[in-house]
Amino acid sequence: VNETPAVTRSAAELEELDRRVLLHPHQNGAQHERRTMVRGSGCLVWDARGVELLDVMGGGNWVAQVGHGRTELAEAAARQMGTLEYFTGFDIFANDQSLMLAERLVALAPDGLDRVFFTNGGSEGVETAIKFARLYHHHRGEPDRTWVISRHFAYHGTTYGSGTATGFPGMHQGIGLGLPHVAKVSPAHPYRAPDLAPGRDLTDFLLDELAGTIDQIGAGNIAAMIGEPVMGGAGILIPPADYWPRVRELLARHGILLIADEVVTGFGRTGAWFDSAVRGMRADIAVVAKGLTSGYAPLGAVLVRDEIGETVAGGDAYLFHGHTYSGHATACAVALANLDLVDREQLVGRSATVGEWFGAALAPLGDRPHVGEVRIAGATVGIELVADRGTREPLMAGAVARELRDVHRVVARDYGNTLVMAPPLVISQPQVTRAAEAVAEVISRLG
Ligand code: PLP
């Protein structure tokens, strides 16, 4: 399956074709280089020119838990396509794969998340979660609860609703107003905490800010708060241990739902099946995608408390929401086979081991003048670069990521001034060492 790529055109033809017809997601108009990927195996991927790259970014996008080129998943997809590729999930219909996957997700999820709605990915999942939260309050006689609280620098997707919840201002420029009624509070970022009075605790500060925001909007107008247990796209931001339990408690006092965006963190990425469970979020709604299929098929899921499911779609409610491909039979079969692999190869436990390998291999970076902080959560690594360790002035990580790719043939990613790695969980220790040595070499040349 993995040996002979079905590439019928030369690399140069493909690159020219790319420039002519394709608009890339997150395309940088100033960047004219193109690279066509054609094959993968484990943590290695190859482009159309035959160049081999070490993928320490999970398919470039935090997805490839089980690594590339797994024939088990190709076979699961082929089997399902030969049996029943797709049938609608609308109205009374379902397919057996979506039911078995929903059962499996409920078993893995934190207690209480007992109902599952399928989407095509993370943005649709966040979109669905926001709509469910609003609908829930609407059906319970509190239609004014429309506001959503999210955080600056959160990444929740790019569709209208999820994109409005996303906390990068650039995403909101030039498209007019986003979803109304979204407020942002500060992220839990110990390294870049605001100037606190001596002895003032960061969580106390963040809770006061959140309480102030709730007061300002009025608790009776707020549907939900959404947050990533550990923030990924913001550069691996790990909250203080008491942050989520205290946020949870404050929201519960005001009848505000908590949505855990586990699109990145789920399925072992940061060390647990559901990271929200170990950080004390006790979420009412959780959104997953990415590692659910390891990227072998597009799929997301929204898990909700029974009572929320009953309120939005039970009794005499009609749920006027859904996608043609919600619960796609082939995608769900692939997800089941993927979860089998994650289970069998004990990849959730291995995530912490991968993090320890990175921690040890990157330890020498701690002394470099341009490394502000190295943050590791499970098999994710964020290296925050600074122009000066005293002032903590950010140093953009784009050039480091490019050098890593072009000189060392290692694929990581830059998120602002943080270099991020989130490799397949099957990565070997020598591959971790190779990536860490490459990172150290490029960073050492910064000064
Ligand atoms: N939520 C988080 C935390 C993400 O990191 C992402 C994508 O990276 C999304 C949501 C959006 O998911 P998708 O790109 O599948 O729409």
64-87 pLDDT per residue, tens: 999 999 999 999 999 999 999 999
pLDDT at 4: 56
Residue 5: pLDDT band (50, 70, 90) is low
Atom of ligand 1 nearest to the CA of 121: 15
pLDDT at 145: 98
Residue 40: pLDDT band (50, 70, 90) is very high
Question: How many other C-beta atoms can be found within 10 angstroms of the C-beta atom of residue 386?
Answer: 18
CA 437 to CA 447: how far, in whole Å?
A: 16
Q: What is the mean pLDDT of residues 238-250?
A: 98
List CB contacts of 242: < 8 A, sequence separation 6 or more: 203
Compute, in angstroms, the gap from residue 275 CA to the centroid of ligand 1.
15
Pairing outcome for strands 52-55 and 410-411: parallel
pLDDT for residue 242 is more than 70 = yes
pLDDT at 3: 56
How does the average pLDDT of the chain come out, rounded? Answer: 96
Atom of ligand 1 nearest to the CA of 154: 3
Among 290, 293, 413, the mutation site with the greatest number of ligand 1 atoms within 8 A of its Cβ is: 290
pLDDT for residue 299 is more than 90 = yes
CA 442 to CA 444: how far, in whole Å?
A: 5
Reported as a single tens digit per residue, the pLDDT across 147-194 is 999 999 999 999 999 999 999 988 888 888 788 899 999 999 999 988
Reported as a single tens digit per residue, the pLDDT across 95-119 is 999 999 999 999 999 999 999 999 9
Among 264, 276, 281, 296, the mutation site with the greatest number of ligand 1 atoms within 8 A of its Cβ is: 264
Q: DSSP secondary structure string, 22-49?
A: -PPTT--TT------EEEEEBTEEEETT
Q: Which two tokens stand for residue 415?
A: 């998120």
The CATH T-level fold of domain 73-344 is: Aspartate Aminotransferase; domain 2 (3.40.640)
Residue 415 and residue 234 in contact, taking contact as beta carbons nearer than 8 Å:
yes
Compute, in angstroms, the gap from residue 156 CA to the centroid of ligand 1.
5
H or E element that contains 17: helix 11-21
Residue 341: pLDDT band (50, 70, 90) is very high
Reported as a single tens digit per residue, the pLDDT across 24-37 is 999 998 889 999 99
Residue 285: pLDDT band (50, 70, 90) is very high
Compute, in angstroms, the gap from residue 126 CA to the centroid of ligand 1.
8
Nearest residue (CA) to ligand 1, atom 13: 122
Compute, in angstroms, the gap from residue 200 CA to the centroid of ligand 1.
34
Residue 239 and residue 206 in contact, taking contact as beta carbons nearer than 8 Å:
no
Does residue 91 come out as left (phi exceeding 0), alpha (psi in the -120 to 50 range) or beta?
Answer: left
Q: Which two tokens stand for residue 51?
A: 């160049």
Compute, in angstroms, the gap from residue 157 CA to the centroid of ligand 1.
5
Residue 366: pLDDT band (50, 70, 90) is confident
H or E element that contains 376: strand 371-377
Residue 1: pLDDT band (50, 70, 90) is very low
Residue 247: pLDDT band (50, 70, 90) is very high
Instruction: Return the domain boundaries, the chain.
Output: 44-66+346-444, 73-344
Reported as a single tens digit per residue, the pLDDT across 411-422 is 999 999 999 999
The CATH T-level fold of domain 44-66+346-444 is: Aspartate Aminotransferase, domain 1 (3.90.1150)
pLDDT at 64: 97
Q: Do domains 44-66+346-444 and 73-344 have the same CATH topology?
A: no
Q: Which two tokens stand for residue 410?
A: 């290692």
On whether the pTM is more than 0.80, the answer is: yes
Please tell me whether the interface predicted TM-score (ipTM) of this complex is above 0.95.
yes
Question: How many other C-beta atoms can be found within 10 angstroms of the C-beta atom of residue 312?
Answer: 24
Share of the chain above pLDDT 90, in %: 91
Pocket of ligand 1 (CB under 6 A): 121-123, 126, 155-157, 228, 232-233, 261, 263-264, 289
pLDDT for residue 300 is more than 90 = yes
Among 128, 155, 228, the mutation site with the greatest number of ligand 1 atoms within 8 A of its Cβ is: 155
Q: What is the mean pLDDT of residues 322-329?
A: 98
CA 390 to CA 79: how far, in whole Å?
A: 58
Share of the chain above pLDDT 70, in %: 98
List CB contacts of 121: < 8 A, sequence separation 6 or more: 157, 289, 298, 299, 300
CA 435 to CA 168: how far, in whole Å?
A: 29
Rg (CA), the chain: 22
